[in-house]
Homo-oligomer: A and B are copies of this chain.
Amino acid sequence: MIEFCLKSLNSRSRFAPIANHRCHREKGHDGKCLEYPYLKDLQKRYKKIADKIKRDSTNTTGASWASDDAGPNRILRWAMLLSDEELLNYELDMSKLRPGIVAKLREKAATYEDCMQVAMKLTWLVYQMPDSPTPPDDIERYLEKVFKEMTPSSTKCEVCLLPISFNLFSTAQRGKAAIETCHKNPRVHNADNVGFAHRECNIAQGAKTLDEFYAWIEGILNRARRL
């Protein structure tokens, strides 16, 4: 366990009052407050990956329904905790979106603190990928305090359960990253429920929970074997 500093931070985000951004360095730290202290190393050496972790932790996903009437492509997850009425004050008119889109957005709602925990979890997982860089000692200690000891090369795709290599972050097909953030239950965004998956695995899982997905493919295989 770790105790965070939790001093309030300034943010220029229009949704900052909902989030109440806070310092996540350890309580009693020296120097300045930071929201993502554990991302410092990736930010310097692999900026794209650090940015992806921040984005996937805090923003709704939107690629699959991006279209003219699909509304904001990615939005801060804690904004989706606000009522339709409150969102009007942020120039977001949910009534103008198709009902399916609204449901999709609403089920991505998560508190600021859950999103922060997700970012830590993803960072912890990245450093345990095969081929991953070694974390600086202070970051390793920090993440091991939040979760548990790291085991090098132990991070697996949550769906297919094969190792998921850090190098895959840099490969992309048709502009789509080969590694995606995945949810064991697509409707829950917290540290327990997130991990990484190959893009094709994440797509195959779709809107199912992992348990539902495994039961589904088991049924398929049983029928295919009978042919």
Query: Could you tell me which residues of chain A, from 202 to 227, have a CB within 8 Å of some CB in chain B?
Result: 203-204, 206-207, 214, 216-221, 223-224, 227
How long is the Cα–Cα vector from A217 to B201 in the complex, in angstroms? 10
How long is the Cα–Cα vector from A70 to B221 in the complex, in angstroms? 35
A221 in complex: contacting residue of B98, B101, B174, B218, CB < 8 Å: B218
A214 in complex: contacting residue of B104, B161, B162, B221, CB < 8 Å: B221
Which residues from chain B contact A175 at a C-beta distance below 8 Å? 98
* A28 sits at the interface (CB 8 A): no
* A9 sits at the interface (CB 8 A): no
Query: Could you tell me which residues of chain A, from 79 to 112, have a CB within 8 Å of some CB in chain B?
Result: 98, 100-101, 104
How long is the Cα–Cα vector from A65 to B216 in the complex, in angstroms? 27
- B160 & A219 in contact (Cβ 8 Å cutoff): yes
* A173 sits at the interface (CB 8 A): yes
- A223 & B161 in contact (Cβ 8 Å cutoff): yes
Task: Known contacts A200-B206, A204-B203, A227-B161; decide if A174 and B100 are in contact (CB<8 Å).
Answer: yes
User: 21 A-B pairs, CB-CB below 8 angstroms?
Assistant: A65-B174, A98-B174, A100-B173, A101-B174, A104-B174, A159-B220, A160-B216, A160-B220, A161-B223, A161-B224, A162-B223, A203-B203, A203-B204, A203-B206, A204-B204, A214-B220, A214-B221, A214-B224, A217-B217, A218-B221, A221-B221
